[in-house]
Homo-oligomer: A and B are copies of this chain.
Amino acid sequence: MSTPIEIKVRGYHLDVFGHVNNARYLEFLEEARWALLENHLATLASKGLAFVVVNININYRSSATLGDLVEIHSVISRFGGKSCTLTQKMIKKGSQTTVVEAEVTFVILGTDGRPLAMEGELHKMLTPFADKSL
């Protein structure tokens, strides 16, 4: 399983309620995806292929606030015919309280703009991130 990333919650991440804002959590999750797939995203781009998120289903379980250190775990939890789902879980380091859990479904668009089948090279590239334990 891949190494989780850590983010320290700062004052500018919060909103009027004193909690990390809903949209900001999505940036945190995107940061974790870049960290996870960095080299592969560059490879895809160099071939004219695009990584495109088509659905995010996010549960806000508890709120993170100033000074919290959160940890984001990301694994591929499902291979579909032409799509793939990442499960991402953010927990507070220490207490292990779950902050958010999200399923992020993406496709890889070919040079003609249509989703590629999740097989061959593509499947091989993504398989190392697969894990059903999260």
| CB nearest neighbor in B for A42 | B67
Q: Is A50 an interface residue (CB 8 A)?
A: yes
28 A-B residue pairs with Cβ-Cβ distance under 8 Å, sorted by A, are A10-B16, A10-B30, A10-B31, A11-B15, A11-B30, A11-B34, A12-B15, A12-B16, A12-B21, A12-B27, A12-B30, A13-B15, A14-B14, A15-B15, A16-B18, A16-B66, A17-B50, A21-B30, A23-B24, A23-B26, A52-B60, A53-B60, A54-B60, A55-B57, A55-B60, A56-B57, A56-B60, A57-B58
Chain A residues proximal to chain B, CB less than 8 Å: 8, 10-18, 21-24, 26-27, 30-31, 34, 42, 50, 52-60, 66-67
